[in-house]
Every structure is written in C-alpha cells, then in structure tokens.
Amino acid sequence: MLCVTAGCLSSGKDAVPLDTSPYSDRFGEKVLVFDDTMDPEGIKMTLQALHEQQKYNEFGSERYALLFKPGTYNFDVTVDYYMQAMGLGRYPGQVTINGAVQSITSTSSNNIPNKVTTMFWRGAENFKVVPKDGEMLYWAVSQAAPYRRMHVVGHINFDKGSWASGGLLANALVEGRAGLTSGQQWMTRNSSIGLWEGGHWNRVFVGVDGAPKDTWPDQPTTVIDTTPVIREKPFLTFTPSGDYAVFVPALHRDTSGPTWINQDEEGELLPIRSFHIAYPDQDNAASMNQALANGKHILLTPGIYTLDETLTITRPNTVILGLGLPTLIPQNGLIAVATDDIPGVKLAGFMVDAGAELSSTLIQIGPSDADADYTDNPISLHDIYCRVGGAVVGQAETAITINSNYVIGDHFWLWRADHGVGTEWRDGQNKHGLIVNGDHVTIYGLFNEHFQAYQTLWKGEHGRTYFYQSEIPYHPPSNAVWNDEGKPGFASYKVADTVQHHEAYGLGIYSFFSGKSTISNKVRLENAMEVPDHSGIEIKHISTFAGRYGGINHVINGLGPSTEVGELKLFDGFKGKE
C-alpha cells in the first residue's frame, strides 16, 4: 500500500496508509481528494510517491483518482498508468495549477530515447494550468490518455521528441502553441488553440477554433469545421454547498470550440445521493444490478471488478461513471455491460478486460432487435477502453457491439494486445474491435487494433467516423490462415456491402507484420479499407504506413498504391458512384 509521509519515503517510520490519510474521502482509499488549505509539501510528496509507483506499472492492478477541490495549487501534477487527475470545479478555471498537469515518463529501446508509444491508460480533466516561467507543458502519451476540459495558459506538446502514437485533446483551450514533434497521429475536437505545429501520419481537427489549414495531401491533416452532434463527457464536481455532484452536459449540434468557454454550459447536475458508489472490495455485479434496478446511477471507484453477472441497464438516462480507470472483467463468457434499447444512457471512464472464457462481446449497446429513434437523447460512450490480453489472458469475439440507433462514441481504444500476456494467435477467437449494427451512429476518435478479422465492421446506415487509428495484427501465421474469402488478410475498416450511406474522415491504417512465421510466409494485407460503391458512401483522407515486413497492396477497394516497408501513402479517399 502506498504511503504518504516523508518517513514512509525514507526510513519507513510514521507511514500513513491512504485509507487513514488526510486525503481519503467517501470514495475509498484509491481516491485522493486535495484542497488548497492542505500542506503543499505533503501533497507533493504523495504525488511523487504515486509517480514512482505507477510510472512503469503498465499491467499492474492499482488504480488511482486524484481529485482537486476548487482552489489554487503551486506544484506539478504528474499522471502515470491507471491514474486520473481531475479538477472538481464546475469550470476549469476554478481549479488552477501553477505548474504542470503532465505525463512525462518515457522509455528507451534500440538506442531511441523518449519513446512514449506505450504510455497508455491515464487522463487529465477540468484544470486551468499556468506553466511556470512560460515553460513547455508535456502531455507525452499514446492511446487511452485524453486531455479533456483543460485550459492551458501557454504551450503544450503531446510527445517528448521521439516516437508517440496518440491521442486526444477534447473540449479544451490552449492559449499558445499545441502540437507534436514526431507523434504519429492526434485527434483534436471542440477545442480552441492558438497555433498547431507538427505531426506525421494522421491528424484530425473537428470543431476546432484555430485549427491548421487542411493541406491534404501535402500534409496528412483533416479539418472539419463543426462537430455535427456531441454530448461531452459527464464529470464529478464539488458544489458550493459542500457536496459532490455529477454534471451531465447537454447534447449539442453543429458546434466548434469548448462548451464551457463562457461559463454558461448547459446540462444537468445530478446529486451524489442519486449514485450508488461502488467499491471493488465491497461490490459485485449483483449489488450493482440491484442499484441499477432501484433507479440509481453508478459511480465506479478505482479498482478491478470481476463480474459474474452482466451489468444490465434498463432505465433511460442512467449514468455509469468511472473514477481512476476502474476495470471490469466478465466471468464465464458473459457480456460485461449491456443496455436495453433506451434513451440517454451515458457510459464513461472505465475499462473492460476480456475474461478467460470467450465472451460474444464485452459491451453491448441495445439488444439485437433494437430499432428505436432517440435522435434528441442518444446513448453516449466516453473514454471507453477494452482489452483482450495484455494484463490478463482473455477472449472476446468482439469488444463493443452497437445495436441501438443514434449512439455517440467519444473516444474508444479497443485493443487486442500485441504485448503482455495472451498475445499468441491461437490464444482466443478475437475477431473484431467494433461492430455497428445501429443506424445514425457517430464516433469521434476510434482507436482499434490487432484483432484477427475486421477491426471495424459497420453494418448500420448513416454511420460517421471522425478520426480512425488502426494497426492490423502483428503475427498472422500466413495468408493461408489469415484471409477474407481468398483475399490476403482482412480490411481494417469494413463497411458492409448492403450499406447505402456512410461517411469517414481522417483514417490511418498501418501494418507492422512481425514474427518468424509471418515473415517467412510473406504475409500481406490486400485492402486497408473496403466499402460498397454506392452514391451515399464518402471516405475522405486515408493514410497507410507499412513497417517491419510485408505491406499493404491497396488502400481501398483495390484502389490506391501499394504501401511497402518504410512508406507512408496519403490517399484522397473514395466517393461512391452516383
């Protein structure tokens, strides 16, 4: 157990465990709550201890949330694996950090320093950050590491000058320069930035004031002026009356810039008493399902929850919100979370690891016969991460299945592990990251990697994707094993032949084949994307890259140049026949 005193960090004397520390609150020992009347040296010591414990803890079981009550703090907040740092103000300016809210841990390999390609699973939300002496702020990350609802009074870089593979800036204001040195891709949505610089393979800006010019194909930049429909992520706040509540932002259409910029943000404030606060050492699926049946929302505190029942959401407008990246693991081949075909459900801020027995899907939105129209109150999912392997050996045929109509996805990372445990080709039947059967589904920031068939399979009508990042699997044994009705491999992004209307913007699809069998059998991928040739199909801006061995024969539908090892190819896109 982490300790929070100087004695703990040095000689071990007078150590104070977190469950009896001054930072504990009603949310348990892994949620540390700070206010600006507390001793700043004690807070800094605690943050440093967490940094040392978590900075390389990629597949550990510890989870932490760092919550800062309204006030002003004069130190750096460093965020590492399975840590969420969050200001508890109603608006970012109510929690000011004079210093940094940062991710700075990196690794080195093959004599390449400052790699952050595996700096995953962390997040920062709802702060105003004033860097010291105009210094550059670093949020050097890759997937599953959003920087949300932030106000940076200065400059920020999203890598440390070497390899990076992220990430997401959303609902944020950066007064100065934002950008990348060498990062592969980045998604920015509903933000305002002074200037953007840098980036390599794929960068997408949706509803961003100050976005760079769309210079494709000279530079891999895609700019969409307004966000067609969005509900921002719900968040925990500390009210002036001295209690907690969860703010659920309203649905918006055709927007640009942050929702909070004029401090007149629309939405609903849910009192904490309307939530069942779940703890991993006290709650199970039965207790949470009973709370849901009783009309409660769920607040998941940090930790790992093994589920011997599916968490089933039957009431409209239910919120399940995670603090500190809580992780659900379904048992006995079950689905972890399933919703009825109902309006207004919000799922946010948690992870699902596949269990040892094969699940048909890890998250199911709506039953298979869902057909309702909830245009004005859609289901929305925010910062949802699913893993098959990596931390635990697991199996899931699909990570997320969306059957309902009018669903909004706001940042997914769906990952069949390429390192850690359970990564062998025959470790499970792990076909798809995402299947969309519903109509009018819109997803912003879809990261989907390494599954054994189509990473994304879209069957619903009027679907839209804004930013896509996908590495196809590393180790298929051969194209004799890995093929789609004779075609080498499976397209990463597949729109079913029956679909008449689909849009996708800013897609990066990459091959990094490796492994003795893969190399000796010269495995390749035929098409990065496959879509029907119908007049309502529009795909804009596809980048492909090939690394290590093999390559990609075509970009989309047998069109576009091949991509060989070391090559980046930029393709304008595809428009179906009129």
Active-site residue set: 471
Closest CA to 124 of 80, 189, 165: 80
**Residue 111 to residue 98: CA distance in whole angstroms:** 35
CA proximity to 167, closest of 567, 150, 134, 110: 150
Looking at 389-496, which runs of residues are DSSP E strands? Answer: 398-402, 408-416, 432-436, 442-449, 456-458, 463-471, 483-484, 487-488, 493-495
Alpha-carbon span 186 to 202, nearest angstrom = 7
d(CA 145, CA 125): 11
Rounded to 5 degrees, φ, ψ at 94 are: -85, -10
State the burial class of residue 567 (Cβ atoms within 10 Å of its Cβ: 0-12, 13-18, 19+).
Answer: middle
Task: DSSP for 209-245, please give it.
Answer: BTPPP--TTTS-EEEESSEEEEEPPPEEEE-TTS-EE
Assign 414 to helix, strand or coil.
strand
Q: Which of 501, 386, 378, 366 is nearest to 438 (CA)?
A: 366
Among residues 531, 265, 215, 234, the alpha carbon closest in space to that of 383 is found at 234
- Is 484 in contact with 457 (CB distance < 8 Å)? no
